Amino acid sequence: IDVSNLNSIQKKRIYKIVSSTGNRLYGILFNVAKSIYDKNEYTKLNKVEFTDEKISIKEFCVKLNINRIGISVKA
């Protein structure tokens, strides 16, 4: 994946992974710093397992390595 040339659909599908359990992966959209209305915007845990299109984040994710200032780096 060429991170410097993402299309608009790909940009809307970037998630920051916030936690995981044995077989589940939870995240939030990359542009969400903190929910405005706590425990009501997403779920009670303020994270999601599926996209708005009901696609599992875990099954279709591709790992991106991003440094602290938001630039894609090689693993």
Q: Is the pLDDT of residue 75 over 70?
A: no
- The C-alpha atoms of residue 39 and residue 18 are separated, in whole angstroms, by 15
The phi, psi pair for 5, rounded to 5°, reads: -125, 45
Q: Convert the pLDDT of each residue in 5-53 to its tens digit.
A: 888 888 888 888 888 888 889 988 888 877 677 767 777 778 888 888 8
pLDDT at 43: 72
